[in-house]
Structure 1
Amino acid sequence: MIEVRELTKRYGSTLALDRLSFQVSPGRVTGFLGPNGAGKSTTLRVIVGLHGPTSGVALVNGRRYAEISRPLYEVGALLDAGTLHPGRTAFKHLACLARSHRIASARIMTLLEQMGLQGVAHKRVGGFSLGMRQRLGIAAALLGDPGVILLDEPVNGLDAEGIRWMRGLMRTLAAEGRTVLLSSHLMSEMALTVDHVLIIGRGRLIAESSMEDLAKRFYRDVLVRSPRHLELGGILQAAGMSVSSGPQDRLVVTGADTATIGDLAAERRIPIHELTQRSATLEDIYLEMTDEAADHRTADHRGGGRKGLGSA
């Protein structure tokens, strides 16, 4: 488990984190979201001891990172795949880390194979693509088989197949009872990967919720398709619902859930071919929640459009 309590971090006159508090529980994939400058990367760096907090505390399994005697066995982190030594081979990079914790060489080869890097195990990292560096960084994070995993922008540089592989890996790790925290600006991918979200802005927690609860909170409408859609529309309107025409004989209904609509249709013996409850996308929710907390805006937003998505 990861616990962040009243975490504050200042860099001179800049307040990066402002009494930030949250918990990341095992057994689920948690997404860490926020605009540029929100404090995501700073938080991750404080958790793994790269930055010291001004006040407050960040704990991993009840201890500060610096108090963990063999950290690779408890915490795996990938914060920047670009920091790998370009002159080392993939195998040597992992071997240097493994030696510090007396991890067997067999574990290295197992991970390289799992990451799809067995064919380049003895090639220098300087010639790797960004996607290959990401895979090697994840291998390093998993080297000690840790129970807590933190990854900052883990799908950067991965192709479609690699992103799907990453999604499956994260879900597998969480299903094994591990604590998984992912920071990313790719809303569409996070919507497919995470079970729980933490949204921050200006160093403060804006929202914490399961994906299921977010969908309910930002419920939008119900899409209904029926060969007797005109008749059904009149019945739903008479019941107090708002009904408008959708594409291909569909109705867009607000003011009721799918069960209520289905029951009314069944009472009148009106066939239903589609009944879909729709919610706002994670991107829409994110943009709405962070509207007041974004430090960096695109030119379109300054003229009235939406914010760009960042990863800082």
Structure 2
Amino acid sequence: MIEVRELTKRYGSALAVDRLSFTVKPGHVTGFLGPNGAGKSTTMRAVLGLDAPTSGEALINGRHYARSPHPMHEVGALLDAGAVHGGRTAANHLLCLARSNGIGRARVTAVLEQVGLGGVARKRVAGFSLGMKQRLGIAAALLGDPEVLLFDEPVNGLDPEGIRWIRELMRSLADEGRTVLVSSHLMSEMALTAHRVLVVGRGRLIVDTTIEELEQRYRRDVFVRSPDDRELARVLEAEGARVETPPDGGLSVHGLDAPRISELAFGAGILLHQLTPRSASLEDAYLELTDESVEYRAEGAAR
């Protein structure tokens, strides 16, 4: 389990993380979302002891990461796939890490096969593509068979097959009861991967919830089709709804839920052919939540 308690981190006058608190529990893939500059990477570095908090603390299984006697057996992390000596082979890179934590050569071979790099184990990392380096970084995170895993933008450079693979890997790790925290800017991917999401902006927690709860909270409308759309619109507007007519027909109803629309249509003797509540996508919800926290915005971008 990961616990962040009133974490604050300043770099001179810049406030990167501002009294941030959250808990990441086992058995879930937790998405860590936020605009550029929101404090995600700084928080993950603080969890791993790479940045010292200005105040507050970050704990893994109730203690600071630096106090773990065998850190790779407890925590696996991928923060920067490029942080590898290019002159080493993939196998030698992992073997150096393994020896520091009493891990045998057989485990190195196993994780290279697991991430799909068994065939290039003896090749130098300098010749690897970004996607191959990401796979090597993931292999390093898995090396100690840890119960807690942190991934910072793990799908960067991966092709569609690789993205599906890492998605299934993270979910399978969570299903085994491990704690998985993953940051990403790809909302469509997080909607398929994560069970829960932490959304941060300007170093503060905006929301901590499940994917389903977040999408439902930002429900867009109810789509309705009827042989008598015009009369149905009149009845719904009389009840206070805002009704729009999409170009392809039907009605987009705001301000009334599906059961109430059904009751009103029944009472007016109007037949319904379709009645579909439509929730916002994770991307829609995320953009609305973080609109005031975006640090860099292109000219003409929607607010």
> Residue in 1 aligned with 2:245?
245
Which runs of no fewer than 5 residues in structure 1 stay unpaired?
A: 308-312
> Residue in 1 aligned with 2:115?
115
Identity %: 64
TM-score by length of 1: 0.88
Q: Cα RMSD over matched residues?
A: 2.2
Which runs of no fewer than 5 residues in structure 2 stay unpaired?
A: none
Q: Deviations over 1:16-72 (max 9, x none)?
A: 222111111111111111222221111111100111111111000101001111011
1:128-147 map, 5 Å: 128-147=128-147
Q: Is the 8 A contact 1:7 1:57 kept in 2?
A: yes
Residue 101 (structure 2) pairs with residue 105 (structure 1): no
> Residue in 1 aligned with 2:51?
51
How far apart, CA to CA, are the structure 1 residues paired with 2:297 and 2:237?
42
How far apart, CA to CA, are the structure 2 residues paired with 1:206 and 1:306?
20
> Residue in 2 aligned with 1:310?
none
Q: Is the 8 A contact 1:287 1:306 kept in 2?
A: no
Q: Deviations over 1:161-206 (max 9, x none)?
A: 2111111111111111111111111222222221211121222112
Aligned length: 302
| Distance 1:36-1:66 versus aligned 2 partners, 3 A rule | same
Q: Is the 8 A contact 1:16 1:203 kept in 2?
A: yes
> Residue in 1 aligned with 2:16?
16
1:1-312 map, 5 Å: 1-226=1-226, 229-230=229-230, 232-233=232-233, 236-237=236-237, 240-262=240-262, 268=269, 270=271, 272=273, 274-298=274-298, 300=299, 304-306=300-302
Q: Secondary structure at the match of 2:276?
A: strand
How far apart, CA to CA, are the structure 2 residues paired with 1:98 and 1:156?
25
| Distance 1:245-1:89 versus aligned 2 partners, 3 A rule | same
Q: Deviations over 1:197-251 (max 9, x none)?
A: 1121222112222111111211110123355545654554555543332243322
Letter in 2 for 1:36: N
Which piece of structure 1 moves more, 135-144 or 201-210? 201-210
Q: What's the offset of the Cα at 1:291?
A: 2.5
Q: What's the offset of the Cα at 1:151?
A: 0.5
Q: Secondary structure at the match of 2:20?
A: strand
Q: Is the 8 A contact 1:232 1:270 kept in 2?
A: no
TM-score by length of 2: 0.91
Letter in 2 for 1:182: V
